[in-house]
């Protein structure tokens, strides 16, 4: 269900979320218009994700339940894993610089992919449409 190419359509509270993450204003302004596009290929419990934005183009491979490393566009390093619960993907990551958790969820709602983020009491969403 997650397979395909998804383009960000809109975000909710993302600016506040990035502020809570400690991202400076200039980067937040740039990130608000990052044209994020993700291509997800799931085969069983293995995922291949292509991420492209105004910041970078990268490819990530991970297996459900297996810890991997991921760096945010600003260089912040995370370590953690995705798990699938029913139709929901739940990611639990830890910031390597301060040990604090960042959790994220992907779910399909109608014809949209909704990704929610939570860090230090601030929640945000980015909503993607198929492209």
Contact letters for ligand MYR, residues 85-104 (x by CB under 6 A): ------x-x--------x-x
Considering the rule CB under 6 A, would residue 6 count as an interface residue with ligand MYR?
A: no
Q: Would you list the DSSP string of 73-131?
A: TTS-EEEEEEEEETTEEEEEEEETTT--EEEEEEEEETTEEEEEEEETTEEEEEEEEE-
Structure tokens at 122: 């601030």
Q: Closest CB to ligand MYR among 8 and 23?
A: 23
Considering only residues 65-84, where is the footprint of ligand MYR by CB under 6 A? 70, 72, 78
Q: How many residues bind ligand MYR (CB under 6 A)?
A: 15
Please report how close the Cβ of residue 23 comes to ligand MYR at its closest, in angstroms. Answer: 6
Closest CA to 120 of 94, 101, 97: 101
Site of tokens 């945000």: 124
Positions touching ligand MYR (CB under 6 A) are 18, 21, 23, 38, 49, 51, 60, 70, 72, 78, 91, 93, 102, 104, 117
């Amino acid at each position: 269900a997650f397979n395909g190419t998804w383009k960000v359509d809109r975000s909710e509270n993302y600016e506040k979320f990035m502020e809570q993450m400690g991202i400076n204003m200039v980067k937040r302004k740039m990130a608000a218009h990052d044209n994020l596009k993700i291509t997800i290929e799931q085969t069983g419990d293995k995922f291949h994700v292509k991420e492209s934005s105004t910041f970078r183009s990268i490819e990530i491979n991970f297996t459900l339940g297996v810890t991997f490393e991921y760096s945010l566009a600003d260089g912040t390093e995370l370590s953690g894993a995705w798990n699938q619960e029913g139709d929901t993907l739940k990611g639990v990551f830890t910031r390597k610089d301060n040990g604090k958790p960042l959790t994220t969820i992907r779910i399909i709602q109608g014809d949209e992919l909704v990704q929610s983020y939570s860090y230090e009491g601030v929640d945000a969403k980015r909503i993607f449409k198929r492209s």
